[in-house]
Amino acid sequence: MPAQGEQACGEVGAGRLPEPEEIFSYSQRFLIDLDNLAFVQNFWQSQRVLISAGPTFEDLDPVRFIANRSSGKMGYAIAQAALNLGAQVTLISGPVSLSTPSGVQRIDVRSAQQMFAAVQQQYAQHSIFISAAAVADYRLEQPAEHKMKKQQGQEELTLKLVKNPDIVAWVAQQEDKPFVVGFAAETQNVEAYARDKLQRKNLDMICANQVGAELGFEQSDNALTLITEQCAVALPRSSKEAQALGLLAFIAERELA
Q: What is the mean pLDDT of the chain?
A: 86
Query: Which range, of 55-64, 117-126, 194-203, 247-256, averages the lowest pLDDT?
Result: 247-256
**Annotation marks residue 231 as catalytic:** no
Residue 105 in domain: yes
Q: How far apart are the first and last CA of the chain?
A: 38
Residue 21 in domain: no
Residue 165 in domain: yes
Exposure string (b/e) for 171-191, b if CB count within 10 Å is 16 or more?
bbeeeebbbbbbbbbbeeebb
Residue 72 in domain: yes
Number of H helices and E strands in the chain, helices first, is 7, 16
Adjacent-strand bridge partners of 91: 51, 106
The answer to whether 109 and 92 are in contact (CB under 8 A) is: yes
The model's pLDDT over 47-91, given as tens digits with 9 standing for 90+, comes to 999 999 999 999 999 999 999 989 999 999 999 999 999 999 999
Residue 2 in domain: no
Q: Could you list the residue range(s) of the whole structural domain that residue 249 is in?
A: 32-136+158-256
Catalytic site residue from 8, 9, 231, 257:
9
Residue 150 in domain: no
pTM: 0.83
Number of structural domains the chain divides into: 1
| Distance in angstroms (rounded) separating the CA atoms of residues 188 and 8 | 57
Residue 115 in domain: yes
The CATH number given to whatever domain includes residue 165 is 3.40.50.10300
Residue 17 in domain: no
CA angle 27, 94, 193 (to 5 degrees): 95
How many Cβ atoms sit within 10 Å of the Cβ of residue 249? 21
